[in-house]
Structure 1
Amino acid sequence: MSQIQDGIAALQAGELVVYPTETFYAIGADAFSSVALQRLFRVKGREPGRPVGLIAADTAMAFSVAREIPSVARRLADAFWPGPLTIVMPARDEIAPELTGADGVGVRVSPNPVARALSAGLGRPITATSANLSREPPASELEDARAGLGEKVNVYLEGGKLTAPAPSTVVVVSESGWNMVRVGAISENQIAAALK
């Protein structure tokens, strides 16, 4: 069984997987499993009320979590996906409240093949919160994640040293436009230029 298949099996069982993305290592959980989400919050020590972003295998899957897809979201996805842009859209009712904020649910399509393969294998988006304890720095190497999380996570997938200088950029979109929530790997100017 390959490492990625081990990861998919763990996700299907409601367990957690540390995996590489295009920015930092992340903790993956099945976004539609309440057991997995409870485990994620417990392991990370993350306080409730802070939404958790998702990674999807492709654009169609990413948009499936949204109640509506503003035209701005489609244009940004065309310009930056796969890539480090998390787009926050109104969430469908079945999306767990732990994953959403006041503006909806945030999702991106990662260019990292491991991240995409996990989501594709599960058939649903997975969580993309950084693989560290709350208030600790994000992990650029698998050993950093393992040192912080230890045996609380079942599967660790190696992706080498990740050299991104910043996390994903987060934008909220609506029919009236877009708003920057977190400046990251994609700049405000790049977003504005893509929407001209």
Structure 2
Amino acid sequence: MQHSSDSEPQATSSDIERAVAVIRQGGMVAFPTETYYGLAVDPFNREAVSRLFAVKRRAPDKPILNLVPDREKMVRLVRRVPPCYEPLIAAFWPGPLTLVFAAAEDVPVILTGYTGTVGLRISSNPVAAGLATAYGGPISATSANLSGLPAAVTAAEVSSQLGPDVDLIIDGGTTPGGLGSTIIGVADERPVLLRAGVISREKISEVLGDDFVLDGPVSEQ
């Protein structure tokens, strides 16, 4: 396992380039996001996704969320964008809002946790956004920790939990931690709160008004 920096954690363009190369070769990269550190693999590389589940000791019925660099790259992952998502995308992307979509046909079923759905967002963290942009397509962004343990907010915490199972750690300093991304799904063309997070119910309601359905099943991404 490599660390991308030593003392002051300043991720550079060369760190991003190295990370892209690792992901293209089927490897796994830990990187900072606007909430916690995440784990990036190519979501269309089934072996890499299977390894991601194994490293996290994650139950196979738990979907993996993903980052995209822009809306155009969503088409590889999703069947369609529900109209009710449009005001949320306009208000909160880039940012800690994960939207759950019906997965496109060629998305590996293991990535969806066999649910047929896939969660994604555009990150507001410059390192995460830069990595997705440099990769040129979707990357996974599930939290960089063992399932059931606290999510890592520093590169050192990633190393402590996952050690040599991660091929590269981009040290971007301490991430905010606290709550994870807010997760919104859709039912009968209406948005449903699946997990409360950084973006509060109140802020979501301000954007959606009476269309917002507050209660939904708990989701872990």
The equivalent position to 2:173 in structure 1, one of 160, 164, 185, is: 160
Please state if 1:75 is matched with 2:87: yes
Q: CA deviation at 1:184?
A: 0.5
Q: Partners in 1 of 2:177 and 2:98 — Cα distance?
A: 15
Q: Partners in 2 of 1:74 and 1:184 — Cα distance?
A: 19
Over aligned residues, Cα RMSD in angstroms? 1.5
What amino acid sits opposite 2:108 in the alignment? A
Q: CA deviation at 1:116?
A: 1.4
Instruction: Show the counterpart of 1:6.
Output: 18
TM-score by length of 2: 0.84
Shift of the 174–89 alpha-carbon distance from structure 1 to 2, 3 Å rule, reads farther
Shift of the 31–103 alpha-carbon distance from structure 1 to 2, 3 Å rule, reads closer
1:72–1:174 Cα contact (<8 Å) kept: no
Q: CA deviation at 1:124?
A: 1.7
Matches within 5 A, 1:1-196: 2-100=14-112, 102=115, 104-174=117-187, 176-196=189-209
Shift of the 21–135 alpha-carbon distance from structure 1 to 2, 3 Å rule, reads same
Shift of the 18–138 alpha-carbon distance from structure 1 to 2, 3 Å rule, reads same
What secondary structure sits across from 1:135 in the alignment? coil
- Deviation digits for residues 61-97 of structure 1 (CA, Å, limit 9, x no counterpart): 2354110111111221111000000000111111111
- Give unpaired runs (5+ residues) of structure 1: none
Q: Partners in 1 of 2:58 and 2:188 — Cα distance?
A: 32
Q: Which runs of 4+ in 1 moved over 3 A?
A: none
1:18–1:157 Cα contact (<8 Å) kept: yes
Shift of the 124–12 alpha-carbon distance from structure 1 to 2, 3 Å rule, reads same
Q: Partners in 2 of 1:12 and 1:106 — Cα distance?
A: 21
Q: Identify which range, 177-186 or 94-103, moves more after superposition.
A: 94-103
Q: Identify which range, 96-105 or 52-61, moves more after superposition.
A: 96-105
TM-score by length of 1: 0.95
Aligned residues: 196
What amino acid sits opposite 1:179 in the alignment? V
What amino acid sits opposite 1:73 in the alignment? Y
Q: Partners in 1 of 2:86 and 2:116 — Cα distance?
A: 17
Q: Partners in 2 of 1:35 and 1:119 — Cα distance?
A: 20
Q: CA deviation at 1:173?
A: 2.4
- Deviation digits for residues 28-85 of structure 1 (CA, Å, limit 9, x no counterpart): 1111111110111111111101001001111222354110111111221111000000
Bigger radius of gyration = 2
Identity of aligned residues (%): 37
What secondary structure sits across from 1:100 in the alignment? coil
1:72–1:175 Cα contact (<8 Å) kept: no
Q: CA deviation at 1:147?
A: 0.6
Q: CA deviation at 1:165?
A: 2.1
